[in-house]
Structure 1
Amino acid sequence: MSVSSSPLFPALSFVAVILAGAAFYFAQQQPEPVPVQTRASFDSSALEESIFALRQEMAGLQTKLDAMETAATAKPDAVTEPETEAKRVQLRALEAERIAAAVEAVIDERGAELAQEAQRRAKREEGRTGMSRWVDNSRDKLPNLYDRIAEKMDLDPQTELAVEEILETGFETLTMITNELVEGDLDDDEILALQIEAKDEFGNIIGQLDEVLDPQQMIHLGQIYSAEVDPKVGGAITNNGNQGDEEDEG
């Protein structure tokens, strides 16, 4: 007896409707892709494997029902036809209910996994684009920073030029790192490695500034940088100058 002609065909059709609705729901719930990053496609293999297993169960059930029908035909005195049909109907109803519940459980589980993955992806993308925006915004403010340095710091022309070159070179390196961070097809470990590399580059910039400026000049530069560009990096420059003062006093 084929599945399409079996009494379980309505149950299979019902399950198929559930699956189609679930597939449409997940397709609608996928988050909008980040413009610079290609979104990974939905992996439905786990759901498909579960459905295949359920269909195998359906085939096994049909075999059992066929055997029951054959036995009832061979031994008409064992049970009456109404009793046999009633048991068949009851069994079909119970199995259809169990299969529908199993499919719903699989769909719910996959839905939770998809939601968690979407949250992780959104957080990861925000970290990537957030650092890129931070670097770009800071770099855009450098010309104004140079003007304030010229106005407020009593540096000789050679030292002033050295400060500008250190900042320009450092931010050029940071831009290359963040471009790769945003545009690259990276896994979580690669993203973390680039974020650490960018933070290390900020430390490298501060170290180079410390080589051309004395502690008081570093403190002054940190104050100007905090006001004109970014308080966090400016505070790190100021702290470096304070540490230099403590070492000189020691």
Structure 2
Amino acid sequence: MSGVEFNRRLESIPVYPAAESYGEDEGLIKLASNETPWGPPPAVIGAIQGQLETLNRYPDPAKSVLRRRIAERSDVPISKVVVGNGSCEILLAAGDALLEPGAEIVYAWPSFSMYPHLAAQSGARAVEVPLANGVHDLEAMAREVNAATRLVLVCNPNNPTATAVGIDEIDAFVASLPRHVAVILDEAYVEFNLLQDPGESIDLLSKHSNLVVLRTFSKVYGLCGLRAGYALGTEEFRLAVDRVRQP
């Protein structure tokens, strides 16, 4: 030991088991990351190649071009679009912006492995609500919300169970919660959700000011190596996230 004292909260955060820990067997098939077996679309490869000569410049910290295109495609104001280095960066920034010691975060379990990290890093209390027959039990989750709750996470479709709840259920669930509670609807796999059109959850943003829709280019677009994710919410949420993350 070096004698250096690290943050004690790290003790509750497990180290992610890298593939190297299982040896160098080239025959290993990595299933945990849910990567597409196909390469990026040719248009994306061309766009990246067209920017290689600009690598000596820092990127636009406001991500204005990408945010504008996402805003146009989603039919929302650009002021309500947040872009991050993968949706995980936005999740962690949201945790920094919303959580603190004594606060509570509610999510279903098992679900995305990143969620416990938000609580551990902030000192907030994690309230894990068991799935009911493999599906989010939204009524049980709502019962766990109290004055200390600052954030609720709903992974839909859920990772790793691939189950989903309908958009009407999401609408009623968010409406049942106090306005001080932020709800992040994690839709990393929304394009695979047969219960809804991807645009339906975006329509809910006009009804619920505490709702955030989180998405990524990593899954259906096959761009996980590019590390690009985004969130749609209020301008207040965007500004809060921008305050706590690196430009």
Normalising by structure 2, what TM-score? 0.22
Q: Which has the higher contact order (CA 8 A, sep 6+)?
A: 2
Higher alpha-carbon Rg: 1
- Give 1 or 2: higher helix fraction: 1
What TM-score, normalized by structure 1, do the two folds share? 0.22
Higher share of residues assigned strand: 2
